[in-house]
Structure 1
Amino acid sequence: MKVVLAAIHPAPSPQAVPLANAFLKAYLGTDEELAARVAVTLCDFLRSTPADVCAAEVLAHEPDAVGFSLYLWNTEESARVAAELRRKRPGITIFAGGPQATADPLETLTGGGYDFLILGEGEVPFLEVTARLADGRPFRGAPGTAWLDDGKLASRPQKPVALLDTIPSPFLSEIIEPGRYGGLLWQLSRGCDFACEYCFDYKGTKGVRRFSLERVDAELDFLVRNNVPQVFVLDSTFNVDAQRAKTILRMIRKRAPHIHFHFEVRSEFLDREMARLFAGITCSLQIGLQSADPAVLKGIRRHFDPGDFQKRVALLNESGAVFGFDLIYGLPGDSLACFRQSLDFALALYPNHLDIFPLAVLPGTPLAARAAKAGLDHLPAPPYALVATPTFPAPDMKRAARLAGACDIFYSRGRAVAWFNGVIASLSLTPAEFLDAFGGWLERQGLETREEALGDEAIWLLQRSFLAHIFADRRVRRLLPLALDLVDYHYHYAAALLAPPPELPTDRSLAGLNILDQVMCLAPSTRLARFSYEITDLLEAGNADLREIGACFSPSPSWAVIYPRGNDIFTESLLESYFLLLEGLDGCRRAGDVVARLALPGEEAAEFLEFAAAEGIVTVRNCS
């Protein structure tokens, strides 16, 4: 018997990994006799792939049964592929599982054309229904499944796996090929200790079950051995068990400092030691703030203490850990004014980024059960986005969406964390006021606030243009050069940080080399920048208000080279003549010719170029 498990991903991404389907295949292997009779193939697709193309690839494996993993983003696409499979192979068995199937089984069965669904955690039901199909027995009635009986929903409950370690690792079982993806999803637990009314994470079982530290240790070794570049940790309560979290962080610091990890954490369980451990590895944290209004959060069964939140986030800032927040607008009791206050609260804490979403009223959640009573008008199908509430009418929802998009472009994608608060303070604007003005300005430029096609350079130029506009509008033009210096510096810094560092020449390769006879050019990771002020003075001033900086320093043009070396980014303030020397190295002319054109002292220029070559600022090609 042959089974294909299909996953349709939103877009190419390091997170586009079929982990759920891999778990199913791994668990099937616990029944050696059944595994010998059943071949399971994993197929990955993108939402943009036409249904007939997906179906053709699936059918090329000649499956007897096909299963789909359903999420908000792929429900419609999966149904289209299922219909195409049914058209081409009428007798094939088609089933589905995943969060969307579990949340709304009746709609999924009636709208998707599936023979049955797997509800909740899929390992045990998948093994059972596969055994039934392989034996020619009816699949209906298997524990953990749902089906239609004369048009009515029928289902049988199941108990989830109590000991997660009894589920074989998809990594250690070599089901997932790490080299195929730009990263991996790493599940450390299942379930949730909390019961937020808008969320589906805690459904099914109460509490959290965790994979053992021995399992974590073995899988971490797998990640290191296979040079996985980044890992998205699937554990929404990672730091609730503080000692376990710290143990894992120490394991990562010791063995995987080169891998970038993404964690979800709860602010109330952060302490100084944990903050330092996060800062000691390559990682980013996501904290679910959702709203800064305690009353709004209480209405969805979340407790929030603003002072405690600020205190614990300050520990992250002190340690240098990278973190971002989630915000939701449209929660019961929320309003546009309340959302703006939440945005101001969040940005004042210097997050690296904000992820902002409208409320999604997910089927199967307590919030969905009381949506009508609460007056939550929302889309009836995925993504179930909120349209309006009694306190957040539709026009205000559109205004909030524009504000969220403006924040995404200007602040998050514009990497503005280091200078944003200092700049807007000089304008006497709140973050929400500033970003609202940016959103309106974008519209007048004919741009949407969800321009995904905008690249880093395009966003940088938009930032500069808007700042010129608003500094003039607020009549503080004299501070604009300071603002632009900070924007420019951090743009170039980020570009150098993200660029692959060059391979440094050895001392031996440089020894005895007449550097002026070489053809040289800037390394691709090197950035040259001109500033209106001495850039080192501005960097030492930190996040101060621009008016304070302007009172301390006078305009004084400076020139700098910004470049990566090892794991650090260096900034060297240069004399203009040496800046022009680097700028003139075009990869065509001898370095000595550029030195002569600029009338620089040969010995000093040679010493500078030797330094630049050794640091990886320039690359050298011997032309002798």
Structure 2
Amino acid sequence: MTILLSTLNSRYSHASLGLRYLLANMGDLQERTRLEEFVIGAKTTEVVERILAHEPAIVGLGVYIWNVEDTTRVVAMLKRVAPHIVVVLGGPEVSYETGEQAIVKLADYVVTGWGDVTFPKLCGDILDGPKPLMKVHAGVQPPMVEIAMPYALYTDEDIAHRTVYVEASRGCPFKCEFCLSSLDKTAWPFPLDDFLAQLESLYQRGARLFKFVDRTFNLNVKTSLRIMQFFLDKLAAAPDDPVYAHFELVPDHLPDALKASIAQFPPGALQFEIGIQSFNPEVQALVSRRQDNAKAADNIRWLSSQSHAHLHVDLIAGLPGEDIDSFGAGFDKLWALGPHEIQFGILKRLRGTPIIRHTEPFAMAFDPYPPYTILATDRISFRDMQRLVRFARYWDLVANSGRFANTIHTLLGDAPFANFMRFADWLYAHTDATHRIALERLVKLVEQWLRDGMWMSDRDARALVASDTAPKSAAGNTATVRQVRHLAA
């Protein structure tokens, strides 16, 4: 074995699609290439020891916003104990602002952007000469038909215990400045028949959870319909052997043909991640986000009321030009549309994204360390931004967890954002914590807030929370919720 492909995933259930693409496209070097994945938080010494056990000549590491700090320590230790090993970096975190990064200075080579063609060629040059002189190699984007698909490289263990990531296309035609996909010129589809054949193979091997990473799944409706029909056919053929699919949807593009297809899916089979980010037209214009808010709202309302799809809808706090009142108004509007989950995100300055152009005009201060979260803007002070961070965490614990499905409606009342912000401020004052709050303690705290903050009687508060926390007899419903949350993760 000569080449080791590796990365540190955010959790074990996440199998790296990027590494499998590289392995699938190694050509003559594939037999000399292996793949081993780790999880962030693992001891650096143990990671390095396992890498060295392969006795590689080249180590290729996928670097992302969630693992760059851990990976930097791995590279630093590798170069101390085995300086002869050639370290090649790739991934979005090192593809932009490359020269500023400590991890790049430690490594031997970097591939920016697409690595399917460039990484194998670089490895061949390192091994057989002539040895490359340049440290940074811009990834060559090949025609999509020439990229070998990686799905056969999912092991039986992957299929049984991990999320199977798939993509029918790469890229995005939209220019939202907070997103790395804004740097793409368009979306590039893989040959559809070939892709569907790969899905069929995965299904026959036992895959039942499919998470699509396409940024614009419903951009080409004809393609979307064929892919969704694939899953409908499986559900029809084996209704007792359910299949689950996760897609990211453009919120204002849901024609009738796609609605008709979505309406055929039974409960628990379909999840949509929908990026709203902001309902403020001025903020949308500032970050180059094109979105018909009225259509987006109508489509979310339809999906919520007329389909069985589980809806996971995103908002971002801290965008330029948005204050707390504007964000809160958007939150209230979204809550009224009835999504199952609102993913309350805090803006991050991803390397290379155009959002940086607003730094001075809007006094945007970002954390200099990953994940580069916004700390303050001219509209939101540092203190208030931390209140929003805590709001997001408590929202996950109380609302998105599904543990308080009845209580949450009373808690939010007719002013959802303001009321939950009051609760979040109170909860932090009483716990001084946003993590490691045991469920039993959280239940008692929610009861206490209903009494102290919402003036409910002790009996009514206990009864309301008990309606959520009492053991449920519908085990099937619990299983469905568990599957959907697995996809969301």
User: Scaled by the length of structure 1, what TM-score is found?
Assistant: 0.70
CA deviation vs aligned residue, 1:549-601 (integer Å, no higher than 9, x gap): xxxxxxxxxxxxxxxxxxxxxxxxxxxxxxxxxxxxxxxxxxxxxxxxxxxxx
Instruction: Work out whether residues 406 and 439 of structure 1, in 8 Å CA contact, stay in contact via their aligned partners in 2.
Output: yes
Alignment match of 2:428 (pick from 443, 452, 464) = 443
Return the alpha-carbon distance in structure 2 between the equivalents of residues 84 and 61 of structure 1: 16
Q: What is the match of residue 80 of structure 1?
A: 73
User: Looking at CA atoms only, which structure, 1 or 2, has the larger radius of gyration?
Assistant: 1
Return the alpha-carbon distance in structure 2 between the equivalents of residues 79 and 239 of structure 1: 37
Return the alpha-carbon distance in structure 1 between the equivalents of residues 431 and 164 of structure 2: 38
Q: Which runs of 5+ in 2 are unaligned?
A: 483-489
Return the alpha-carbon distance in structure 1 between the equivalents of residues 211 and 303 of structure 2: 20
Counterpart secondary structure, 1:219: helix
Counterpart secondary structure, 1:268: coil
The letter of the residue matching 1:487 is D
Q: What is the match of residue 111 of structure 2?
A: 118
For residues 587-606 of structure 1, the aligned pairs below 5 Å read none
Alignment match of 1:367 (pick from 339, 355, 366) = 355
Instruction: Work out whether residues 115 and 139 of structure 2, in 8 Å CA contact, stay in contact via their aligned partners in 1.
Output: no
Alignment match of 2:59 (pick from 63, 66, 75) = 66
CA 470–117 in structure 1, closer or farther in 2 if over 3 Å, else same: same
Counterpart secondary structure, 2:101: helix
Matched, 1:228 2:207: yes
Return the alpha-carbon distance in structure 1 between the equivalents of residues 473 and 399 of structure 2: 16
Instruction: Work out whether residues 268 and 309 of structure 1, in 8 Å CA contact, stay in contact via their aligned partners in 2.
Output: yes
Q: What is the match of residue 292 of structure 2?
A: 305
Instruction: Work out whether residues 291 and 339 of structure 1, in 8 Å CA contact, stay in contact via their aligned partners in 2.
Output: yes
The letter of the residue matching 2:253 is F
CA deviation vs aligned residue, 1:229-272 (integer Å, no higher than 9, x gap): 42211101001111211111111111257122221111111234
Q: What is the match of residue 212 of structure 1?
A: 191
Q: What is the match of residue 161 of structure 1?
A: 142
For residues 81-100 of structure 1, the aligned pairs below 5 Å read 81-100=74-93
Counterpart secondary structure, 2:3: strand
Q: What is the match of residue 6 of structure 1?
A: 6
Q: What is the match of residue 582 of structure 1?
A: none
Return the alpha-carbon distance in structure 2 between the equivalents of residues 244 and 372 of structure 1: 42
Alignment match of 1:337 (pick from 325, 328, 334) = 325
Return the alpha-carbon distance in structure 2 between the equivalents of residues 500 and 402 of structure 1: 29
CA deviation vs aligned residue, 1:383-427 (integer Å, no higher than 9, x gap): 111111111111111121122223222211135556744x357x5
Instruction: Compute the displacement of 1:180 (Å).
Output: 6.0
Matched, 1:296 2:283: yes
User: Is the deviation greater in 312-321 or in 70-79?
Assistant: 312-321
Instruction: Compute the displacement of 1:296 (Å).
Output: 1.0
For residues 336-415 of structure 1, the aligned pairs below 5 Å read 336-415=324-403
Instruction: Compute the displacement of 1:451 (Å).
Output: 2.3
CA deviation vs aligned residue, 1:331-353 (integer Å, no higher than 9, x gap): 00011122211221121111111
Return the alpha-carbon distance in structure 1 between the equivalents of residues 277 and 205 of structure 2: 36
Instruction: Work out whether residues 22 and 176 of structure 1, in 8 Å CA contact, stay in contact via their aligned partners in 2.
Output: no
User: Is the deviation greater in 407-416 or in 69-78?
Assistant: 407-416
CA 3–369 in structure 1, closer or farther in 2 if over 3 Å, else same: farther
CA 418–245 in structure 1, closer or farther in 2 if over 3 Å, else same: farther
The letter of the residue matching 1:327 is L
Q: What is the match of residue 231 of structure 2?
A: 252
The letter of the residue matching 2:85 is I
CA 132–177 in structure 1, closer or farther in 2 if over 3 Å, else same: farther
Return the alpha-carbon distance in structure 2 between the equivalents of residues 156 and 218 of structure 1: 33
Instruction: Work out whether residues 325 and 353 of structure 1, in 8 Å CA contact, stay in contact via their aligned partners in 2.
Output: yes
User: Percent identical across equivalent pairs?
Assistant: 25
Counterpart secondary structure, 1:390: coil
CA 269–41 in structure 1, closer or farther in 2 if over 3 Å, else same: same
Return the alpha-carbon distance in structure 2 between the equivalents of residues 237 and 292 of structure 1: 19
The letter of the residue matching 2:147 is I
Alignment match of 1:327 (pick from 315, 325, 333) = 315
Aligned residues: 473
Q: What is the match of residue 255 of structure 2?
A: 271
Q: What is the match of residue 610 of structure 1?
A: none
Counterpart secondary structure, 1:86: helix
Q: What is the match of residue 131 of structure 2?
A: 138
The letter of the residue matching 2:174 is F
Return the alpha-carbon distance in structure 1 between the equivalents of residues 125 and 319 of structure 2: 44
Return the alpha-carbon distance in structure 1 between the equivalents of residues 277 and 66 of structure 2: 21
Q: What is the match of residue 478 of structure 2?
A: 498
CA 199–374 in structure 1, closer or farther in 2 if over 3 Å, else same: same
Alignment match of 1:239 (pick from 204, 218, 222) = 218
The letter of the residue matching 2:435 is E
User: Is the deviation greater in 253-262 or in 131-140?
Assistant: 253-262
Return the alpha-carbon distance in structure 2 between the equivalents of residues 191 and 468 of structure 1: 50
Return the alpha-carbon distance in structure 2 between the equivalents of residues 494 and 290 of structure 1: 35
Alignment match of 2:273 (pick from 261, 275, 286) = 286
CA 271–284 in structure 1, closer or farther in 2 if over 3 Å, else same: same
Return the alpha-carbon distance in structure 2 between the equivalents of residues 121 and 452 of structure 1: 39
Instruction: Compute the displacement of 1:225 (Å).
Output: 1.6
Q: What is the match of residue 487 of structure 2?
A: none
Counterpart secondary structure, 1:73: coil
Matched, 1:487 2:480: no
The letter of the residue matching 1:81 is V
Q: What is the match of residue 466 of structure 1?
A: 449
For residues 95-106 of structure 1, the aligned pairs below 5 Å read 95-106=88-99
CA 417–245 in structure 1, closer or farther in 2 if over 3 Å, else same: farther
